[in-house]
Homo-oligomer: A and B are copies of this chain.
Amino acid sequence: MVELRAITEDNFIDAFNLRLAPGQEDYVSHPVRSLAQAYVYRDQCQPFGIYAAGKMVGYVMVIYDHDVPEYDIWHMMVDESMQGRGYGGEALDRVIEYIRSKPLGDSGRVALTCNKRNPAARKLYESRGFSATGNEDEDEMELVMTVG
């Protein structure tokens, strides 16, 4: 059972200590860098620890883009020692449930980007209803879905 818990002063050190798998540094920002961005976007985002059995196993940030408008899912990662257990998919389900409650703004559009050389991530996103928009930026492709 995977759950999301907001990053606070009580658990941020656990997020600092999460490790990207070798090679994933090319695809995903580390939670430390993501939380630094959360500072400047603090009025429109919510960073979470991903928890399994009460232990932080990963990280994800949800940010509301008022310009589009849309929800963006940023920097989702699972610690290298905790991968291959389905936590990413369960965390994505929790994130979509969270966005469905429209906590930061009214849009039902949900977007994320995926590195083109990361087919496993793309497959995961497509399994949850995301599809490619055709928009690309260097090595990243955009995928979107709509929540009710």
B-contacting residues of A (Cβ < 8 Å)?
Answer: 7-9, 12, 16, 31-42, 47
Besides A32-B32, A39-B42, 8 new A-B residue pairs in contact (Cβ under 8 A), listed by A number: A9-B40, A12-B36, A12-B37, A31-B36, A34-B36, A35-B39, A36-B36, A38-B39
Tell me the dominant secondary structure on chain A's binding face.
Answer: helix
Set of chain B residues within 8 Å of A33, measured between Cβ atoms? 16, 32, 36
Q: How far is the CB of A31 from chain B (nearest CB, A)?
A: 8
- Return 24 A-B CB contacts under 8 Å, by A number: A7-B39, A7-B40, A8-B40, A9-B41, A12-B37, A12-B39, A12-B40, A16-B33, A16-B36, A31-B36, A32-B32, A32-B36, A33-B36, A34-B36, A35-B39, A35-B40, A36-B36, A36-B38, A36-B39, A38-B39, A39-B39, A39-B42, A39-B47, A42-B42
Q: Complex formed: what's the CA distance from A9 to B35 in Å?
A: 13
Nearest chain B residue, comparing its CB with the CB of A29 = B32
Q: Complex formed: what's the CA distance from A9 to B33 in Å?
A: 14
Q: Complex formed: what's the CA distance from A35 to B42 in Å?
A: 11
Q: How far is the CB of A130 from chain B (nearest CB, A)?
A: 26
Set of chain B residues within 8 Å of A16, measured between Cβ atoms? 33, 36
Set of chain B residues within 8 Å of A7, measured between Cβ atoms? 39-40
Q: How far is the CB of A59 from chain B (nearest CB, A)?
A: 11
Nearest chain B residue, comparing its CB with the CB of A42 = B42
